[in-house]
């Protein structure tokens, strides 16, 4: 109970500061640069703590019959976005070491951002529905009893991870924070090498030729 309460308090505190920051950042009101920088830290630092606590409290220590992934994929997603935001705002409002090239302003678009977020949510819904249909747990640290190869999984082996990438791009574009869009590359690399590869090894060891044939017939992404 204490663990969840602590995480919820920190999460709500972080999200309330994020809301206040972006209400100003995307609006017409003015704010002193020092205050903007402080508010950005009050948003991101508690979120980093939430990420660490969730991993520390809930990541299973015994991963015998499951993939040996580095952490929960949504936590990786949050870490990447939070890190991108922290670097972006620290540079913009404090260090001012570099400027983002103007050509990258193509990644600032509320309509496209909203569309990508909606598409990612649809993919999530379809994917989780497919898992529920087969009474499987989508969390990679849980045992797999079968390989889902129909529905959306006949087009991509990792629809939920694809949805995370689309959502990160969409959030970055919606919030007009180019670093969040760029850090999708970091999310992709962590997911590929520290989540997907261990998952593939686990599934190949457990299901053998069945999974090997599935790998050959369906792409990892699209």
pLDDT tens for the 222 residues of the chain, in order:
889 999 999 999 999 999 999 999 999 888 899 999 999 999 999 999 999 999 999 998 776 788 999 999 999 999 999 999 999 999 999 999 999 999 999 999 999 999 999 999 999 999 999 999 999 999 999 999 999 999 999 999 999 999 999 999 999 999 999 999 999 999 999 999 999 999 999 999 999 999 999 999 999 998
Contacts 24+ apart (CB under 8 A), 73-78: 73/140, 73/160, 73/161, 73/164, 73/191, 73/195, 74/164, 75/51, 76/187, 76/190, 76/191, 76/194, 76/195, 77/164, 77/167, 77/168, 77/187, 78/47, 78/50, 78/51
Q: Under DSSP, is residue 41 helix (H, G, I), strand (E, B) or coil? A: helix
**Hey, CA dihedral for 125, 130, 136, 138, is it positive or negative?**
negative
221: Cβ–Cβ under 8 A, 6 or more apart, which residues?
A: 156, 157, 158, 162
Question: If residue 68 lies in a helix (H) or strand (E), which one and from where to where?
Answer: none
pLDDT the model gives residue 172 = 99
pLDDT the model gives residue 63 = 66
Q: Under DSSP, is residue 116 helix (H, G, I), strand (E, B) or coil? A: helix
Give the pTM: 0.95
């Amino acid at each position: 109970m204490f663990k969840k309460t602590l995480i919820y308090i920190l999460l709500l505190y972080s999200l309330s500061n994020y809301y206040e920051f972006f209400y100003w950042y995307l609006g017409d009101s003015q704010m002193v640069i020092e205050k903007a920088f402080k508010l950005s830290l009050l948003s991101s630092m508690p979120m980093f703590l939430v990420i660490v606590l969730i991993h520390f409290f809930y990541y299973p220590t015994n991963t015998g019959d499951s993939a040996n992934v580095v952490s929960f994929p949504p936590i990786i997603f949050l870490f990447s976005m939070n890190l991108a935001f922290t670097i972006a705002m620290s540079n913009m409002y404090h260090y001012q070491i570099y400027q983002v090239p103007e050509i990258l302003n193509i990644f600032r678009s509320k309509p496209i951002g909203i569309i990508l977020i909606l598409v990612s949510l649809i993919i999530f819904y379809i994917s989780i529905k497919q898992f529920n249909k087969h009474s499987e747990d989508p969390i990679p640290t849980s045992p797999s009893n079968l390989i889902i190869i129909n529905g959306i999984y006949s087009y991509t082996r990792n629809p939920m991870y694809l949805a995370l990438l689309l959502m990160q791009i969409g959030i970055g574009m919606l919030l007009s924070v180019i670093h969040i869009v760029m850090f999708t590359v970091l999310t992709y690399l962590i997911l590929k090498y520290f989540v997907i590869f261990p998952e593939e090894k686990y599934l190949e060891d457990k299901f053998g030729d069945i999974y090997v044939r599935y790998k050959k017939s369906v792409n990892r992404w699209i």
